[in-house]
Amino acid sequence: MNCLEFRRAAGADPQHLTGEALEHARGCAACARYLAEVRELDVRIARALAVPVPEGRPAAAVATVTHTRRRYLALAASVLAAIGVGLVGWLALAPPSLAADVVEHMRGEPESWDSHTPASDAVLEKAMQRGDAWFTTMPGRFMYVQSCWFRGHYVPHLVLETGDGPVTLLLLRNEAVKAPTDFDEGGYRGVLLPVNNGAVAIVTRGAALSAELEQRIAAAIQWTS
């Protein structure tokens, strides 16, 4: 493989190069540099592609709406009006896209709240590694652990057992939150807390967690990159 062939291959699929291509990069400093540049550009492209997602209509409305343009527009207008009237307070408190996406994600995994079996250390470690995160001190036992695709990245989705019931954590390495932001929507109450250059979403289905426990959780989170 020559340099031109290598660069075409690396420019097309930089994460899945053949053994021959990787061998070429090992022996060619210029092509190794090219590959590093392409991969670095891909990280930036991924970040750029993750545009903010606006608030959406609930899927229930989608599933029942009659498919005529006029009714669709009328319903969309009424839903928008309802959102405008009913959620003004919430929208004023939280960045709509991140808080709304957290709530949407909660709705998508209702079973996560009902697990009664602690997750294994290996499963937790894998999810944390994938999300570039780790705990300096374990905040408790996790009854549910998943690595979830969220806003363009894999994030650890954890459910912590507490005396007040299950508490969900989404560890968001790639989301910047400037200040603690409360939200209360659709039966989910939570807070977005800044953690270095990332954030953690802490969500309950009942009473809000104590501020002390929230801070303890946030303080225990470190990012690995």
Partner 1 sequence: MINAADGRDDRQRFEALSAQLRPELYRFAFWLARDRAIAEDVVQETLLRAWRSWGNLRDAGAAKQWLFTIARREHARLYERKRFETVDVDKLITSEAPALAAGDEREVEDLRRAIAGLEDDYREPLVLQVLFGYSTQEIASHMGLTQGAVLTRLFRARNQLRKQFGLEAVDDGGDET
* Residues contributing to the site for partner 1 (CB under 8 A): 4, 7-9, 11-13, 16, 34, 37-38, 41-42, 44-54, 56-60, 62-63, 65, 67, 72, 76, 101, 104-105, 107-110, 149-152
> In angstroms, what CA-CA distances link 67 with 43, 58, 71, 78, 79?
40, 16, 7, 16, 16
Structure token digits, residue 119: 């997750």
Q: Which is nearer to partner 1, 42 or 125 (CB)?
A: 42
- Shortest Å distance, C-beta 112 to partner 1: 11
44 contacts: CB under 8 Å, gap ≥ 6: none
Q: Which is nearer to partner 1, 47 or 141 (CB)?
A: 47
- Shortest Å distance, C-beta 107 to partner 1: 5
- Shortest Å distance, C-beta 213 to partner 1: 28
Element (H, E) at 203: strand 198-204
- Shortest Å distance, C-beta 157 to partner 1: 11
- Shortest Å distance, C-beta 64 to partner 1: 8
Structure token digits, residue 87: 């959620």
Q: How far apart are the first and last CA of the chain?
A: 33
CA–CA distance, 46 with 68 (Å, rounded to integer)? 36
> In angstroms, what CA-CA distances link 39 with 10, 135, 189, 191, 223?
9, 28, 38, 34, 21
Q: Which is nearer to partner 1, 49 or 179 (CB)?
A: 49
Q: Which is nearer to partner 1, 38 or 220 (CB)?
A: 38
Q: Which is nearer to partner 1, 90 or 188 (CB)?
A: 188
